[in-house]
Structures are given as structure tokens and as C-alpha cells.
Structure 1
Amino acid sequence: MIKLNVEEYCHNCPDFTADVISHVNNESEGISYHIITCEHSNRCMQIKKYLEGVKDD
């Protein structure tokens, strides 16, 4: 399974850098999953929260 986990504001971002988390559940069956995020996702989420707070003031 491959899951793309990015926010709407990530689309067309010039700083987007893919960060892939991979995990093999069962090596004998070869079941695995990969989650793709941006390595800057935490930074951008904090900026978004800050700007939402400033907008509400």
C-alpha cells in the first residue's frame, strides 16, 4: 500500500521534499506499506496554525 499524506497547501510548494516511511509487515508474504509526506510538514503546519491565530485577532 502506498499512501500520500500531504495537505492541500502542500500542492505546488517549491520547498516540498518527499519523506517516505516504509514498513514491511510480514517478510514471508512481502506485505508492506509506504507513507509519503513532506519533510517540512511539521514546520508548515505550525506556520498555518500561527497565521490562523493572527487572522482571528
Structure 2
Amino acid sequence: SPLTVSVETQAASIEEINKRHPMTMLVAKVQFLLLHHPSLLILLDFYLNPLNIQE
């Protein structure tokens, strides 16, 4: 399917980025995970702002 091709292409381009900019690779991995697992955004938000729960 087109989606599979785009994911593979994205992964290949991310690997190219990784060779030059390891930090960009980390950001790209996080963005990729959040895109496919939105619930992680809630965990990330809690990790970055633990006081939100108490407010």
C-alpha cells in the first residue's frame, strides 16, 4: 500500500539524517512514535509537566 512505501521512505530519509545529525534522529523518532501512538503524548506531557495532575 502507499502508506507502507511512505513509511519505508521516511525511515530511509531518517537514517540519512541520523548519519549527519544524531539529535535530529532522536527528535524524528519521538515524532514518529507520537504520530503512531498518540497516547504517548499524554505520558510525555506528564513527564515534562508532572504538576499538571495536581492543578
* TM-score calculated relative to the size of structure 2: 0.34
* Max Rg structure: 1
* TM-score calculated relative to the size of structure 1: 0.33
Structure number with higher strand proportion? 1
Structure number with higher helix proportion? 2
